[in-house]
Amino acid sequence: MSQNPKRLHTAWHNRLLRIVLVIAAALVALLFLLLPLAVVFVEALSKGLQFYFQQIAKPDTVSAIKLSIKLALVAVPLNMIFGIAAAWVITKFEFRGKRLLISFIDLPFTVAPVISGLVWVLIFGMQGWLGPFFRAHNIEILFAFPGMLLAILFVTFPFVARELIPLMQQQGTEEEEAAVSLGANFRQVFFRVTLPNIKIGLVYGILLSNARALGEFGAISLVSGMLRGSTVTMPLEVEILFNEYNAAGAFVVASLLSLSALLTLLVRSLLEYRHNRRQPELPSE
């Protein structure tokens, strides 16, 4: 609001810079994020709606969708439990080796998923450490549901814990201690105090790990064995179709994955909106 011309100039200059930066950011987002997504849908629908739905109705596609959902349905709840337990232990208790545990949780973020797949092959493969043992007992791990579940559990492990740890650290332990001093048992403390406080973070974590579970490719491609109709997930189906020169079919399945990603973002935004809407009123006596 200054009348000083120099100040005015600087303000105008800053504004120009801001506009340029915003446009640049928008362009990058458009080019690298939105455009590929748009291409997926355009390509998927390029041969018409009929082709689109026929592709989805194919037994291989249906089986891939079913397997992906089944894997996510088992992996995500398991991860939720592990994640809550890890975050709870790390934030509410003091113990030796805590820092080490925290870095271990991040391991799946830093290790390439292919490597985790390799490790499972190494352990449960026919030449692996435990492979012959399970084989002898007629338990299939590799190239079957359990192996794929392990691969997915590994890569999605950090999501829930990573969302919860900062949140729970910031909230401290006073509320839990208060609940206990009022006579609450472990179950009551968890369900009535801890869980409601971490609800939002937990839902975010679940959404993210679900998205990752559906989209995982690297780790799972090694342990799946690509048995069509039985151990092929949606991302694997995309690759198989693509390798069969059925690009349009690949895009159809890819569009389903993209849809689920968009849905995840939508739900997350809705939650954020709802959470922020309840602004605290000003305190008054």
Partner 1 sequence: MTITVENLSRNFRNFKAVDNVSLTAEKGELLALLGPSGSGKTTLLRLIAGLEQPDSGSVIFEGEDVTRLDVRHRQVGFVFQHYGLFRHMTVTENIAFGLRIKNRRERPSKSQISERVQELLHLVQLDRLGQRHPDQLSGGQKQRVALARALAVEPRILLLDEPFGALDAGVRKDLRRWLRRLHDDLQLTTIVVTHDQDEAMELADRVVVMNRAKIIQAATPAKIYDQPNDPFVFRFLGAGSAVPLLFNTLGHWRSPKMALGGEVMAMLDRSERARQAAEAGDQQLDLFVRSHQFEMMADSKGDWRIRFAALTGRSIRFEVQYIGNIGNIGSIASQEPPSLNPGAPTPDALTYEVDLSREEAEENGLSLGTRVTLTVKSGLLFPR
Residues lying near partner 1 in the complex (CB under 8 A) are found at 172, 174-175, 177-185, 188, 192-193, 196-197, 280-285
What 3-state DSSP class applies to 273?
Answer: helix
Residues sharing a CB contact under 8 Å with residue 168, sequence separation 6 or more, in sequence order: 87, 88, 91, 92, 194, 197, 198
Q: In terms of Cα–Cα distance, which of 55, 50, 11 is closest to 248?
A: 55
Q: Which C-beta is closer to partner 1: that of 52 or that of 204? A: 204
Q: For partner 1, give the closer residue by CB, 43 or 175.
A: 175
Q: Looking at beta carbons only, is 49 or 282 nearer to partner 1? A: 282
Comparison of 184 and 261: residue with beta carbon closer to partner 1: 184
Q: How far is the CB of 174 from partner 1 (least distance, A)?
A: 4
Segment 259-266 long-range contacts (CB within 8 Å, at least 24 positions apart): 260/211, 260/214, 261/211, 261/215, 262/37, 264/207, 264/208, 264/210, 264/211
Question: Least distance in Å: CB of 80 to partner 1?
Answer: 19
| CB 56 to partner 1: min, Å | 42
Tell the smallest beta-carbon distance from residue 181 to partner 1 (Å): 4
DSSP class of residue 284 equals -
